[in-house]
Copies of this chain bind each other. A is one copy, B any other.
């Protein structure tokens, strides 16, 4: 039973306006500020749309009376709200947390109101979020879909009503644009590096990946290996949740225990799997690294925030979070300005960079 302590709550009266009376609506603010309500309305929708001198008068009054328009009344009547929906598949993954942070900031700076949702890896949750989001009549939506688990029809229908830019995971022909990473390039580069510096890598992945990137990386690995004249070697582990570390750990412990790893170099489909695999290798007493005393080289993909703090630090491919966020937001803003429909669906893929650390 938890500890409980009770105390008298403090009641603080926050500062009110000069006259002590709270202004309830734009009408009253118009009265005290000496500006007509329609002009105020114009100002709040775009401060630069009124003459500089009146703008100053309004802002002076605003300081004295601290009034703020009712957001529900605004959104109800506006042709278009300032809402921007941000939907990510799994917020407990720092990759998405980071990219969401970056997107949020940019939206706020542009005068929009970002609202963040996480599907928590569940299809039904994603559907519910899209349903809710529609009620908010967003000016635009940045959607990183679940991927394999997404209900294509639901996402399609959603995109019909709300201007949507997809990022991270693509769903073919859905949404007005896609921004992601160039998996063939990044995997190709990593495979080339690993082959050049040691034994050619096997590919460590989930048997039923939750994410289309995983499939693309799978194909990219095979084609890269074949391009270099090597036989692809796949290690597929069980698991279909978003707990990648656990999946990597369990699967890794099994293949290491069975001694069924086809190569002493392992390229993981993503960093979180690699972190799990590192833990499994540690448990099994296998030394990981590119030094001579090591039994295993492990590489990842994404340059996850945690990747530099693993033991040994993880060699990986960096995704440019900031660039993906920036481009996604810019694309959405263009879309919104052009009325919400794109003439062509643009797909933008960013190259990754090799991040050499000690694990491979």
- A137's nearest neighbour on chain B, judged by CB, is B72
Interface string of A89-120 (1 = CB under 8 A from B): 00110100110110011001000010111101
Q: Considering the complex, which residues of chain A in the window 306-336 have a beta carbon less than 8 Å from any beta carbon of chain B?
A: 306, 308-313, 323, 327
Interface assignment of A350: CB less than 8 Å from any CB of chain B:
yes
Interface assignment of A52: CB less than 8 Å from any CB of chain B:
no
Which segment, of A189-197, A211-219, A257-265, A273-281, faces chain B?
A: A273-281
Interface assignment of A205: CB less than 8 Å from any CB of chain B:
no
Whether the pair B6, A346 counts as a contact (CB closer than 8 A) is: yes
Among A71, A92, A276, A350, max chain B CB count under 10 A is at: A92
Which among B94, B104, B156, B349 is the interface contact of A94 at CB below 8 angstroms? B94
Whether the pair B3, A348 counts as a contact (CB closer than 8 A) is: yes
Whether the pair A312, B282 counts as a contact (CB closer than 8 A) is: yes
Chain B residues with Cβ below 8 Å from A283 are 313
CB distance from A281 to the nearest CB of B (A): 8
- Docked pose: A139 CA to B343 CA in angstroms: 43
Chain B residues with Cβ below 8 Å from A98 are 92
- A5's nearest neighbour on chain B, judged by CB, is B347
- A308's nearest neighbour on chain B, judged by CB, is B279
Whether the pair B245, A8 counts as a contact (CB closer than 8 A) is: no
- A11's nearest neighbour on chain B, judged by CB, is B160
Interface assignment of A238: CB less than 8 Å from any CB of chain B:
no
Interface assignment of A15: CB less than 8 Å from any CB of chain B:
yes
Whether the pair A305, B92 counts as a contact (CB closer than 8 A) is: yes
CB distance from A22 to the nearest CB of B (A): 11
Whether the pair B245, A345 counts as a contact (CB closer than 8 A) is: no
**Given that A135-B71, A348-B2 are contacting pairs, would A14 and B310 also be in contact in the complex, using a CB cutoff of 8 Å?**
no
- A181's nearest neighbour on chain B, judged by CB, is B2
Chain B residues with Cβ below 8 Å from A13 are 160
- Docked pose: A91 CA to B90 CA in angstroms: 12
Which among B8, B97, B136 is the interface contact of A91 at CB below 8 angstroms? B97
Whether the pair A311, B70 counts as a contact (CB closer than 8 A) is: no
Chain B residues with Cβ below 8 Å from A160 are 11-14
- Docked pose: A176 CA to B7 CA in angstroms: 10
Whether the pair B120, A101 counts as a contact (CB closer than 8 A) is: yes
Which among B7, B128, B344 is the interface contact of A347 at CB below 8 angstroms? B7
Interface string of A287-311 (1 = CB under 8 A from B): 0000000000000000001101111
Whether the pair B7, A309 counts as a contact (CB closer than 8 A) is: no
Q: Considering the complex, which residues of chain A in the window 162-213 have a beta carbon less than 8 Å from any beta carbon of chain B?
A: 173-176, 182, 185
25 pairs of residues in contact across A and B, judged by CB atoms under 8 Å: A2-B327, A2-B348, A2-B351, A3-B185, A6-B344, A7-B345, A7-B347, A10-B173, A11-B160, A14-B161, A76-B76, A91-B97, A92-B94, A92-B98, A104-B120, A115-B115, A116-B116, A116-B118, A249-B309, A278-B311, A279-B311, A279-B313, A282-B311, A283-B313, A311-B311
Chain A residues with a Cβ under 8 A of chain B: 2-15, 68, 70-73, 75-76, 91-92, 94, 97-98, 100-101, 104-105, 108, 113, 115-118, 120, 128, 132, 135-137, 156-157, 159-161, 173-176, 182, 185, 245, 249, 275-276, 278-279, 282-283, 305-306, 308-313, 323, 327, 341-351
